[in-house]
Structure 1
Amino acid sequence: MSEIKNYDRAAHKYYMSQNITGLPITSWDLFGPYFDTLCKNYNDLVAIRHLASENRWSYSSPIEENLIQDEQIIVITDAKLNIVHATNNISGMNGYTPQEILGKSPKMFQGEKTCRETQKHISKAIKESRPFEATVVNYRKDGSIYNCWIKAEPIFNEKGKVVNFIAYEKEVA
């Protein structure tokens, strides 16, 4: 225990000899959530890069820009439309954590007020392996509704086979 006291004294003496102005606690309060978001985004990017490498994606869309600068949610499914990755920021939009939706279909967010015509448009694009953009009425975990803008596209591997679908999403008014 005396080593800790000696260390504390030495650290105090050193820092007092420096001309350092401390940051107010409120600065850390403002910076903390941003830093946490940054760390989660980085972890998401690492996971997406791993998925891309594992499935040998032939894909060059700006994933990092969409996630960090545009603050979009990214949902990735396998070729059978089972969710294999969702970015951590999804819970802010619909209340679900990424772990709660893994292995499920994105249809889990749809319900009674979701437009059937829009669903058909999306289904047709998926069957034809082509990109689509749509705004759908989705349901949060608590049952409330929200409008979700989705821009999605198939991801092909190096051999030209669809291996994943990627969707960039954002809540809109």
Structure 2
Amino acid sequence: MIDTPNTTITPILSFDFYIENYHKLTLSLKKEVDLKALNSVLRIELDGKTKQIIEEEPYEAMVVTSPDRQIVWVNQGFAEMTGYDKKFALGKNPKFLQGEKTEKETIHNISKHLNQQQVYSGSIINYRKNGERYRCDIKILPLYNSKQELTHFIALEREAPAA
């Protein structure tokens, strides 16, 4: 190879490849941990469709509620995103994250979907423990047992990028 005075050759750093794959691996492992915890908490095997959604849907926080919408489990991402301790959330309704700027229409729309046991996808304004407001993208899935009876709701949540 001929090197000219105006040409600089730099090697591709393996770190660039490493960090990209590391990030993907970390997300994959977090989802694997969440799925194992879900199976333990729910005491049922998730159906293939729900499992696929969890594996493919981007999320930071996962919240599991009973049919009456009381939180029975949250992942570590919930604590990191909201600032609330995992134990604090247990037994509460997720409405404790809402506040002054939370749109009433959005709350009504979520309730309507859950009452009809339908999947809900949308976003809502929530509040962190420190009072900071953030827009949260949510996907809520109803879960059923083998008799097709509603057992839980799973919410996959992530902070929406600022506009």
TM-score range, shorter chain: 0.7 to 0.9
TM-score for the superposition, normalised by structure 2: 0.73
1:74 offset after TM fit, Å?
1.1
Q: Which runs of 5+ in 2 are unaligned?
A: 1-18
**Alignment partner of 1:168 is 2:160:** no
Query: 1:138·1:147 contact (CA, 8 Å) conserved in 2?
Result: yes
Bigger Rg over Cα: 1
Instruction: Indicate how the Cα distance of structure 1 residues 65 and 72 shifts in structure 2: closer, same or farther if over 3 A, else same.
Output: farther
SS at match of 1:168: strand
Deviations 1:93-127 (A, max 9, x none): 11112222011111010011100001100011111
Q: Which runs of 5+ in 1 are unaligned?
A: 1-29
Match of 1:47 in 2: 37
**Alignment partner of 1:130 is 2:101:** no
Query: 2:39·2:45 contact (CA, 8 Å) conserved in 1?
Result: no
Once the two structures are superposed, the pairs formed by residues 16-165 of structure 1 within 5 Å of their partners are: 42-52=32-42, 54-55=43-44, 57-58=46-47, 60-61=49-50, 62=52, 63-66=54-57, 70-165=58-153
SS at match of 1:170: strand
1:78 offset after TM fit, Å?
0.7
Match of 1:21 in 2: none
Match of 1:7 in 2: none
Query: 1:76·1:86 contact (CA, 8 Å) conserved in 2?
Result: yes
Aligned residues: 138
More helix as a share of residues: 1
Letter in 2 for 1:50: S
